[in-house]
């Protein structure tokens, strides 16, 4: 499905983004590992999460969606031998976390995914899980692969990268391993898994190593609990950014205390922007009526790069799109992880920005965007997305502020993370239409 976005006046209104994808995956997986019932409200019902729900069924949990939209998972206290291949679709999060959880049980499970997921590196979880005692059969450290689990031993793993997926896979494996399992990261990544392990009753704490606290888990029995999935900040970043690049009034819901990571940069970048309700409230309201300059934008990015980069990796494409409307050079670095997401997002963003008349260049770990201010982006291009949902949404947002409409060649994959994206944006006044 091709979509076209064009300028159509101001964005106005309030709307809650869909449920947080990261929390949705974890709620299903931990609910399947737990004993008893886990009720999940506001679960993201995108394609990625539905694959994880089906995987939970294959590992022995009873998973159903009630008529009122509540998802109920009845776990049996661990994973059982699946009877068929575990298809993770397009989800790297689902695949890596499920592999970690499965590795600690005496079973053999074959994991696979779509063509995009088959290209994404799995060695980052294979390496630590192998150290714990799991065995793997496969080619080139990618899917499809077979996990032979059971009899794991806890380790202290020094991860070479800051990755919530890697950390989560190791900690989930540690739930059924002998001894303690600790993960040390270069920079702390998102802590969804740590928080949820506590909620499900895991034997979990933090240990001080090298002057910093790092997560540690011991063999534990999880117990089912009610879970409310808040709105996804990464999804909220798109309407927030659309309000900024058009210099119009906008409002984006954020049903959790953590504001969109992109907001850390955008808020500090806006010379005359005002932001409200971001101190733990369930809503994030944004207003801006003036352009923001690249000098403040770049300064805000430098301030957040080292500390926040692992937490905002998914928002880099939309930040690059917004940078096209800034004045002068915006340089984003420390984002090499973008090259091994659903696509090489650095190359795709630069190619798409150039096609829309924006001066941009690749860096090994990021990109440089030379913006010429609001209303300067020509647009008028059809963007190659390679089926990457965040590339598609980022360029549709760019099209909302461009002189000429912007088309994306394939918007079907948007449903993996933001089902109903077009209708959501249209409810705020955006002009996004099928072709």
State the catalytic residues.
Answer: 314
Burial (CB < 10 A; 0-12, 13-18, 19+), residue 384, is: middle
* 272's tokens: 């005359």
Beta-bridged to residue 433, according to DSSP, are 4
Signed CA dihedral, 114, 119, 121, 126: sign only: positive
* 202's tokens: 């895991």
* Alpha-carbon distances of 282 from 94, 223, 230, 256, 259, rounded to whole Å: 26, 27, 8, 5, 9
Number of H helices, E strands in the chain: 14, 22
Burial (CB < 10 A; 0-12, 13-18, 19+), residue 315, is: buried
- Compute the distance between CA of residue 166 and CA of residue 422 in angstroms, rounded to an integer: 32
- The bridge status of strand 145-148 relative to strand 135-138 is antiparallel
Decide: 367 and 360 in contact? Cβ < 8 Å: yes
Which residue spans within 7-97 are E strands per DSSP?
35-41, 62-65, 71-76, 86-87
Decide: 150 and 105 in contact? Cβ < 8 Å: yes
What is the SS3 assignment for 289? coil
CA 8 to chain centre: 29
- Compute the distance between CA of residue 37 and CA of residue 305 in angstroms, rounded to an integer: 40
Determine the straight-line distance between the first and last CA of the chain, rounded to whole angstroms: 7
Provide the CB-side half-sphere exposure for 188 (13 A, CA). Answer: 11
- The bridge status of strand 86-87 relative to strand 145-148 is unpaired
Beta-carbon count within 10 A of 289 CB: 13
* 305's tokens: 């790069």
- Non-local (6+) Cβ contacts of 67 within 8 A are none
């Amino acid at each position: 499905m091709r979509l076209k976005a064009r300028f159509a006046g101001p964005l106005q209104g309030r709307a809650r983004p869909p449920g947080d994808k990261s929390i949705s995956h974890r709620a299903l997986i931990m609910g399947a590992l737990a004993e008893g019932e886990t009720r999940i409200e506001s679960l993201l019902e995108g394609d990625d999460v539905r694959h994880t729900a089906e995987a939970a069924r294959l590992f022995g949990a009873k998973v159903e969606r009630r008529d009122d939209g509540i998802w109920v998972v009845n776990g049996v206290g661990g994973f059982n031998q699946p009877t068929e291949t575990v298809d993770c679709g397009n989800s790297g999060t689902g695949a890596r976390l499920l592999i970690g959880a499965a590795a600690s049980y005496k079973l053999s499970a074959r994991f696979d995914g779509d063509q995009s997921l088959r290209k994404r590196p799995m060695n980052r979880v294979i390496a630590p899980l192998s150290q714990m005692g799991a065995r793997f059969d496969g080619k080139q450290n990618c899917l499809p692969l077979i996990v032979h689990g059971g009899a794991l031993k806890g380790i202290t793993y020094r991860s070479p990268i800051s990755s919530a997926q890697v950390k989560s896979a190791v900690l989930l494996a540690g739930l059924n391993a002998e001894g303690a399992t600790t993960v040390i990261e270069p920079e702390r990544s998102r802590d969804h898994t740590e928080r949820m392990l506590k909620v499900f009753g895991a034997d979990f704490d933090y240990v001080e190593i090298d002057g910093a606290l790092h997560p540690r888990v011991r063999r534990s029995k999880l117990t089912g609990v009610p879970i409310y999935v808040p709105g996804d900040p990464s999804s909220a970043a798109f309407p927030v950014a659309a309000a900024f690049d058009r210099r119009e009034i906008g409002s984006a819901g954020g049903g959790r205390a953590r504001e969109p990571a992109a907001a850390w940069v955008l808020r500090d970048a806006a010379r005359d922007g005002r932001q409200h309700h971001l101190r733990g409230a369930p809503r994030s309201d944004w207003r801006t009526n003036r352009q923001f300059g690249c000098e403040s934008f770049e300064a805000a990015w430098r301030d957040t790069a080292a500390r926040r980069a692992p937490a905002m990796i998914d928002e880099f494409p939309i930040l690059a799109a917004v940078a096209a409307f800034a004045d002068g050079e915006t340089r984003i670095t420390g984002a090499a992880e973008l090259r091994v997401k659903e696509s090489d997002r650095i190359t795709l963003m630069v190619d798409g920005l150039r096609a829309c008349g924006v001066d941009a260049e690749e860096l090994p770990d990021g990109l440089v965007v030379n913006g010429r201010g609001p209303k300067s982006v020509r647009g008028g291009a059809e963007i190659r997305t390679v089926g990457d949902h965040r590339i598609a949404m980022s360029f549709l947002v760019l099209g909302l502020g461009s002189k000429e409409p912007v088309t994306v060649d394939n918007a079907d994959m948007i449903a993996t993370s933001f089902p109903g994206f077009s209708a959501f944006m249209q409810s705020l006044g955006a002009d996004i239409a099928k072709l």
